[in-house]
Amino acid sequence: MSPAPSSPAPSSPAPSSPAPSSPAPSRSCVFCAIVAGDAPAVLIHDDDRYLAFLDVRPFTRGHTLVVPKVHTVDLTDTPAATLAGMSTLGQRIARAARLSGLHADGNNIAINDGRAAFQSVFHIHLHVVPRRTGDRVAFAKGLIWRRDPDRETTGRILREALARLDETPEDTTDDTTGDTTEAPGSA
């Protein structure tokens, strides 16, 4: 199934993980509806396994959600390889937020795992929340207001930054082992 994006998203090779075994979307899951193209979203990234789109209630400008296209609920039923792929894509989006016109100085990256951890959509997802030095007041307001008045522009800025990352080789050496792996989007 190919989503019908409200804005174009570049497609690049998926972060390493097994191919989806049975994409069984949940009928009541808004993220499955976005993946199926049945609900609108400002797409940041789209490949065979993952979709990244702007949060409709962002804490900060550029707040992006990374979801697997296969429906799983939380950390207990999501394969480790899927989590690794989500993390790899989240890292790329965080780098793009720093390189883009969003001027992020850092990022919060989080998974809310279960109702007690404030998970509100029960389809596993990774939050990438761009942060700026001294943005505590803006971040606190984001907890209350949670809106981006120009989501399309924000999406374009992040997509363009991701495209620039795809053109730039990155160091993929694992500092713990010294092994080198192929970076997503570099093949």
Helix axes 80-99, 151-167, angle to 10 degrees: 100
Q: Is 127 a catalytic residue?
A: no
For residue 89, CA distances in Å to 64, 75, 122, 137 come to 11, 17, 20, 28
Active-site pick, 45, 63, 71, 125: 125
Nearest-10 Cα torsion for 135, 113, 24, 50: 40
Nearest to 9 by CA among 43, 51, 42: 43
Active site residues: 125
